[in-house]
A = this chain, B = another copy of it.
Amino acid sequence: MKYQEAKDKFILAWGSLGSSWGISRTMAQIHALLLISTTPLSTEDIMEELQISRGNANQNIRALMDWGLVEKQLKTGERKEYFVAGKDVWELAKQVAKERKKRELEPILKVLNQVQGVNGNTKEVKEFKEVTKNISDFAEQAESTLNLFINSKQNWLYKILSKIRS
Contact = CB atoms under 8 A, between A and B. Distances in A.
Interface of A: 1-3, 5-7, 9-10, 13-14, 16-17, 20-22, 35-38, 87, 89-90, 93, 100, 103-104, 107-108, 111-112, 114-115, 117-120, 122-125, 127-128, 131-132, 134-135, 137-138, 141-142, 144-145, 148, 157-161, 163-164
Given A9-B115, A124-B3, A20 B104 contact: yes
Question: Which label, helix, strand, loop or mixed, suits the secondary structure of the A interface?
Answer: helix
B22 A128 contact: no
B6 A115 contact: yes
A74 B16 CA distance: 39
Contact of A2 (B108, B118, B135): B118
Given A2-B119, A3-B124, A13-B107, 6 more contacts: A1-B114, A1-B117, A36-B132, A38-B127, A142-B157, A144-B161
